[in-house]
């Protein structure tokens, strides 16, 4: 059978190797970059788990549909952008904020888009949180982590991004 269909053996070996490669990619060292942030002016910064843990941590409350509220520990996107050089706590002016979008990308290509005003504290929205551990301190499950983005003000998780790998601030035309 393998002589008549040599491609089948190769495909089978790829399928068997994929879970091991995926598991290896999800177990990152504390110094390995796990998130890339790109600002509208082209500045880019990579963050390892250790770098994220060094930022000021916060907690926010979130809720899924009719479920009970739960605590989300982590770093707000506002604080992360400030660490990259975009300080939204300053009054940048509405024109400089509302004309930009924040795109969150996952490892599998999923994207969620937010207006930058949703991250600016002057507009009064619930925080967007970067999260790498559960409220009890345990790591996120592999299907969710190692990093996720939670829009704490939204009851539907359509813009919650599992396996987050990049945030990009884009200027809108």
User: DSSP string spanning 115-155?
Assistant: EGGGT-GGGTPPPEEEESB-TTSPBPPTTT-S-EEEETT-S
pTM: 0.78
CB 172, CB 115: distance < 8 Å: no
Q: Walk across the sheet containing 111-115 and list its strands.
A: 44-48, 33-38, 164-171, 100-106, 111-115
Residue-wise pLDDT tens digits, 42-74: 999 999 999 999 999 999 999 888 889 999 999
CB 173, CB 42: distance < 8 Å: no
Residue-wise pLDDT tens digits, 118-133: 988 878 889 999 999 9
Ordered structural domains, the chain, with CATH: 29-171 (3.90.420.10)
Q: Is 45 helix (H, G, I), strand (E, B) or coil?
A: strand
d(CA 153, CA 131): 15
Q: Radius of gyration of the chain from Cα atoms?
A: 19
């Amino acid at each position: 059978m393998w002589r008549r269909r040599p491609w089948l053996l190769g495909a089978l070996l790829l399928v068997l190797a994929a879970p091991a490669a995926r598991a290896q990619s999800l177990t990152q060292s504390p110094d390995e970059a796990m998130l890339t942030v790109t600002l509208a002016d082209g500045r880019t910064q990579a963050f390892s788990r250790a770098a994220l843990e060094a930022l000021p941590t916060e907690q926010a409350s979130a809720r899924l549909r009719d479920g009970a509220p739960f605590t989300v520990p982590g770093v707000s996107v506002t604080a992360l952008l400030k660490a990259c050089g975009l300080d939204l706590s300053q009054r940048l002016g509405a024109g400089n904020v509302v004309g930009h979008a924040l795109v969150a990308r996952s490892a599998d290509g999923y994207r969620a888009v937010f207006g930058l005003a949703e991250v600016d504290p002057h507009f009064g929205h619930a925080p967007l949180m970067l999260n790498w551990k559960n409220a009890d301190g345990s790591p996120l499950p592999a299907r969710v982590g190692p990093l996720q983005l939670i829009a704490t003000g939204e009851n539907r998780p359509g813009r919650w991004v599992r396996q987050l790998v990049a945030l990009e601030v884009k200027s809108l035309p």
